[in-house]
Structure 1
Amino acid sequence: MPHLPPPGLPTPARRRLACALFVGAAAGTAHAGGWDIVSASRTYNTIPLKSDDTVNPMRGYHRWQNQELVPQAAPARDAFRRYHWRDLEGVQGQYTFGAILADLKTARDQGRKYAFRLRMMAGYDDGQLYAPAYLAGNASCLHGCGFWADAGAASGKTWVPDWNDPFVLARSRALLQALAQAIAASGNAASIAWIDVGLYGQYGEWAIRKSVYTNRPAGIEEATTATRRALAKMHFEAFPTQQFVMFIPYANRDALRYALLEQTITTKPVGLRADCLAQAGYFKQWTDHADEWRQFADQWRKAPFIAEFCPFESGHPTNGPATARAQASEFHISSVGNANFALSKPDDQRWLSLSDPERHDMLMLGREAGYRYGVDSTWVSLTGDGQLTLAATFRNSGNAPTYEPWNVKLEIVDTSGMARWSGTVPVALNSLAGGGVTTRVQSSWRVPALAAGTYTLRLVARDARPADGQQRRPLAWVLGERDADGGLTLRSLRRR
């Protein structure tokens, strides 16, 4: 006698399925020209966190500046680079985006998506001009477009842009618009994972020392609130359909408010970006202003929180992997740049320079950050005439949801591996915010009359975006029973 439908199904559905199964059982489990009858439940094993080797997009570690130093079971699904403005526009209006376009294409060819940031300045006191040479002292600016600040260091001076100057802002806007057009023309725009809102501040990270303005020229002031909003807005106008993240310094709280809560340009909610993960006390700028942080504290539920490390060395009493791990957990950080630590060591020694506890924390950080989707249980029913029903319980045991569109598909696959039929399972993975939350769904389909033979019934989460060659690989379930491609085989089916 077949198993009865699970209690979670609505009563009418239970009655229909029970009748169908009873009739099928009375006639035997096989029908000439029909399907072998199935009614079976199964449970699955979530991979323990301490041994989870799952690599999925926009969670865990991403490739940072061509480096992946923390060892992973597979290459990261996302890659991040940053670029100086001077390398993109040597002569006013003449752009050289070859490096960005090549990196974007490489990421696509490797099965990754690509993230980037543009920078108008980098570090301090190195005597370097990171904006285009034509910009410094340009007569179109009211006060020379910027100035050389002397912080007293022997190594040199720092060129600080006049962020407020209309010409500087106009050229910044033109740069972003030209880049957006070049990427669109390359055909690879769908391979962008996210864009950092950049250009302003040291390294384009929206922070700058007030001390550089101590001896500023007459007429030059720190960036105004209107300027910071304008710099964010020009990013959004150039790439309105892309995923953005915004740096979180407390001093930029108005720009954050604009980007996350007020602007309506972007089609996707803007996420958060931290540049100093692992630095003890870094988040005090917000925890000390809890009322103001509250307006942004739940942004992780709808947009990603991306981070990179403040450089740390092994053995520091407060700055290091344990601090980073705690911060990622508290603030629901999804993805971290896989580099930028132990900079005093050669690249091939940086991971090994960490102590055993530090390496453990680094591995656990990659496992804990972001989503971890799995399936607790399934119940499958198939009648002889092709009425297929699935009841399934899905779980997210991670610390955040996914921010990309996935369709969970139930697929009937032939012996060559080709899907001969698929149905969409009505579960929205991004509604499962994490922390072990579950949802149970059930749905039924009429399966077409396929050729006689043996088939496999699989549950696969596939990229819901257009099949243009830039889709993500199937999402990998965090299950011990998962298949090599990350999907899940539920059982075998046979048609007579």
Structure 2
Amino acid sequence: MTAVGEGLAWTATARHNHYVLRTFVPGAAPTRAIIVGTTVRPATHPGLTVVYEVRTLARRLWSNEVSIAYPPRPAQAGGMSREAARQTPGTPAQGSKGKAFGKNEREAKEIAEREAKERAEREAREKAEREAKERAEREAREKAEREAKERAEREAREKAEREAREREEAEHGTGGLTFTPSVLPRSAAEIPNTGRGLYDWQGGTSGLPAGWPLVDYYMRDAISWARDLEPSQGHYSFLEKPGVIDEGLAKAAAKGGRLRLRIMAWMPGGTNRMPSYIETESASGSTFPKWNSASWLNAWANLWKALGSKYGSNPRIGSIDTGGYGAWGEAHMNGITVLGTHITTENFVKMVGDVVNAFPKAHVLIGTSAAVKEEAPIQPELLPAVVKAFPTVGFHFDNMGAIAPTDGNNLPYLKPGGLAADPEAWERWKTAPVISEWWNLATATVATARSSTQEMHVSGLGSGNIQSSVRTINEPEYQEVLKLAGFRDQLDRVEVTPLTAGHAAILAATWENVNVAPTYDPWQVRYELRSGERIAWSANSTLDLRRLLPTKGTPLKATDTFTLPTSLAKGNYTLAVQVLDPSKTVAPMRLADSGRTSDGAYPLGTVTVG
């Protein structure tokens, strides 16, 4: 901004023609006025030096300061100066002066209120960012401490096992046994387990090969929030009698697996599913909840509190899509770019937290169409903030077989070198699942699905929502992709020291995971000594299969030391391994090893207890 005589001029900024002029008159409070255009001749202040600055109406950054030194008012007949007597450009006539002053005062008040609101929003955003940073630092510190503790415990355990083994060898010699189970080739029939492979996509069969086993069940379209869950405000019908979710649980139980579900609100092109009392707004021909309103946020939170009170500890529920925000619950606005219609980062994190808190044992997922970087001023970042806030939250994406990220799956943006590289989010698959459903267009390909499964470590693919021709033109490769998804754990070798009642027994097992992801459930590996159908002794291994990441040709060795009871009778036993669900909800894990018994055990061979 520059002063030209007693006038002011400044450079126009793109897209803006409304400006705020701030005036500093000595001995008076600063004033503001709205100016249209890039020049103005302000009212004179004889005998004073007045300072001015300007900014656009839409932004908070002020220009440089410019001062005008006004000459003193000369004495005139009748006590009136010539300056005061004449009308100056930019100065309102006497009759309209009060009206103009009132208008400027009102505009200044509006500016002050808007700035106060912006300041409050900025402070809230900075507070949320600060808390997120502190939380991330705390979690990183806790993770480092936990890993250090686990490392120390592991080293101490290995030392104790080594010393016990050396002691046993000194006392009883080294005549142990080694068992090598027969591993199933990948060409063998599918190995069905909960949490991996092909799941029942709402009864869909377009992606279901003949005779293919389905373990888990997914439902979303069958659930209407308004009809099935909350028919009137605060009235949750599922608390009074079995409802649609109970039906889904029954279908999952019939398959021997777990239920995954999504509850949606806004259905572009269809009937919305949220209760009518929730406040809405409209844009681009669609009506949807006001995502940042107390009406929406409270309704969502209260729904999940009620759901959690009934189903939150049910081990039959395996995973949940956080499906409230966006079109079809996919965490995007379906191309709508109207300012203010998108959810804030803080409120989206709150929504995810409502689900996590209600279902602490389930795998909570968010859609990968969620923004991975800020797209100001329309859409704030969502996905990275959730990853930082909740270390257990995984992902779901709805376009398997399509080219990502072109067709809406933002995960590839997060990989090293991506537009929004985020190692923590990109490697989340190591601790939380990535589940997909098919892109329902003919542009999907099995080759792209294989690439996505490998790169993004996908655990599950749906049995429906795929055009049959996509798979039938290459059925063998399609079935290979289904077998590749999730985990494929195999026991390669077990070494056993001589067994004596009342003495230490050391079992060293070699494991591999030859697929793309680990299991995310707390399976328990158990060793057993069997005499016929009777289990004479059993003990749990310290191995946590959730940490058996894809081994890529480098097996994991897990060594356990047990003390056999003195009451264990001498004689021959069958040494067996079982991988059990602690909740006893699903059958023991099926390993990529042959010889499984009807009760889910894997006999290794005969051992003698002396």
| Short-chain TM bin | 0.7 to 0.9
- The answer to whether 1:84 aligns with 2:84 is no
CA distance in 2, matches of 1:429, 1:239: 22
1:49: which partner in 2? 186
CA distance in 2, matches of 1:355, 1:104: 29
Aligned length: 426
- The residue correspondences of 1:233-252 to structure 2 (distance < 5 A) are 233-249=353-369, 251-252=371-372
1:440: which partner in 2? 557
Deviations 1:120-142 (A, max 9, x none): 022x334x23222344xxxxx4x
Deviations 1:31-84 (A, max 9, x none): xxxxxxx83223234322233521112111222113454237664332111123
Amino acid of the structure 1 residue aligned with 2:231? G
2:269: which partner in 1? 125
The 1:356/1:104 distance shift into structure 2, 3 A limit, reads: closer
The answer on whether the counterparts of 1:397 and 1:437 sit within 8 Å (CA) in structure 2 is no
CA distance in 2, matches of 1:167, 1:356: 47
* Partner SS, residue 399 of structure 1: coil
The answer on whether the counterparts of 1:80 and 1:115 sit within 8 Å (CA) in structure 2 is yes
Amino acid of the structure 1 residue aligned with 2:446? P
* Partner SS, residue 383 of structure 2: helix
CA distance in 2, matches of 1:133, 1:11: 69
1:62: which partner in 2? 199
The answer on whether the counterparts of 1:121 and 1:202 sit within 8 Å (CA) in structure 2 is yes
* Partner SS, residue 404 of structure 1: coil
The 1:382/1:429 distance shift into structure 2, 3 A limit, reads: same
- The answer to whether 1:420 aligns with 2:536 is yes
From 256, 264, 288, give the equivalent of 1:111.
256
Deviations 1:359-407 (A, max 9, x none): 2222111111111111121223344546443222111111111111122
CA distance in 2, matches of 1:240, 1:454: 44
The 1:227/1:369 distance shift into structure 2, 3 A limit, reads: same
CA distance in 2, matches of 1:167, 1:59: 38
CA distance in 1, matches of 2:256, 2:364: 21
* Partner SS, residue 315 of structure 2: helix
The answer on whether the counterparts of 1:408 and 1:427 sit within 8 Å (CA) in structure 2 is yes
2:311: which partner in 1? 183
2:281: which partner in 1? 146
The answer on whether the counterparts of 1:432 and 1:438 sit within 8 Å (CA) in structure 2 is no
Amino acid of the structure 2 residue aligned with 1:256? L
* Partner SS, residue 435 of structure 2: strand
Amino acid of the structure 2 residue aligned with 1:84? S
CA distance in 2, matches of 1:225, 1:355: 38
CA distance in 1, matches of 2:430, 2:178: 32
Q: Give the C-alpha shift of residue 339 in structure 1.
A: 1.5
Q: Give the structure, 1 or 2, with the largest relative contact order (CA under 8 Å, sep 6 or more).
A: 1
The answer on whether the counterparts of 2:525 and 2:541 sit within 8 Å (CA) in structure 1 is yes
Q: Give the C-alpha shift of residue 305 in structure 1.
A: 1.0
* Partner SS, residue 392 of structure 2: coil
The 1:386/1:11 distance shift into structure 2, 3 A limit, reads: closer
Q: Which runs of structure 1 show a deviation greater than 6 angstroms over 4 or more consecutive aligned residues?
A: none
2:322: which partner in 1? 197
Deviations 1:95-152 (A, max 9, x none): 2331112322442354221111110022x334x23222344xxxxx4xxx233753xx
TM-score normalised by structure 1 residue count: 0.77
CA distance in 2, matches of 1:320, 1:301: 26
Amino acid of the structure 2 residue aligned with 1:47? L
* Partner SS, residue 252 of structure 2: helix
CA distance in 1, matches of 2:210, 2:445: 19
Q: Give the C-alpha shift of residue 290 in structure 1.
A: 4.3
TM-score normalised by structure 2 residue count: 0.64
The 1:12/1:287 distance shift into structure 2, 3 A limit, reads: closer
From 482, 485, 490, give the equivalent of 1:374.
490
Q: Give the C-alpha shift of residue 321 in structure 1.
A: 1.7
2:301: which partner in 1? 173
The answer on whether the counterparts of 1:52 and 1:478 sit within 8 Å (CA) in structure 2 is no
The answer on whether the counterparts of 2:320 and 2:364 sit within 8 Å (CA) in structure 1 is yes
The answer on whether the counterparts of 1:120 and 1:199 sit within 8 Å (CA) in structure 2 is yes
5+ long unaligned stretches in structure 2 = 1-160, 374-380
The answer on whether the counterparts of 1:115 and 1:196 sit within 8 Å (CA) in structure 2 is yes
Amino acid of the structure 2 residue aligned with 1:96? S
* Partner SS, residue 251 of structure 1: coil
Q: Give the C-alpha shift of residue 205 in structure 1.
A: 1.0
Amino acid of the structure 2 residue aligned with 1:76? L
2:425: which partner in 1? 296
From 323, 330, 333, give the equivalent of 2:458.
333
The answer on whether the counterparts of 1:91 and 1:132 sit within 8 Å (CA) in structure 2 is yes
CA distance in 2, matches of 1:437, 1:406: 22
From 468, 472, 475, give the equivalent of 2:589.
475
Q: Give the C-alpha shift of residue 335 in structure 1.
A: 1.4
Structure number, greater radius of gyration: 2
The 1:487/1:250 distance shift into structure 2, 3 A limit, reads: same
Q: Give the C-alpha shift of residue 18 in structure 1.
A: 5.8
CA distance in 2, matches of 1:164, 1:12: 61
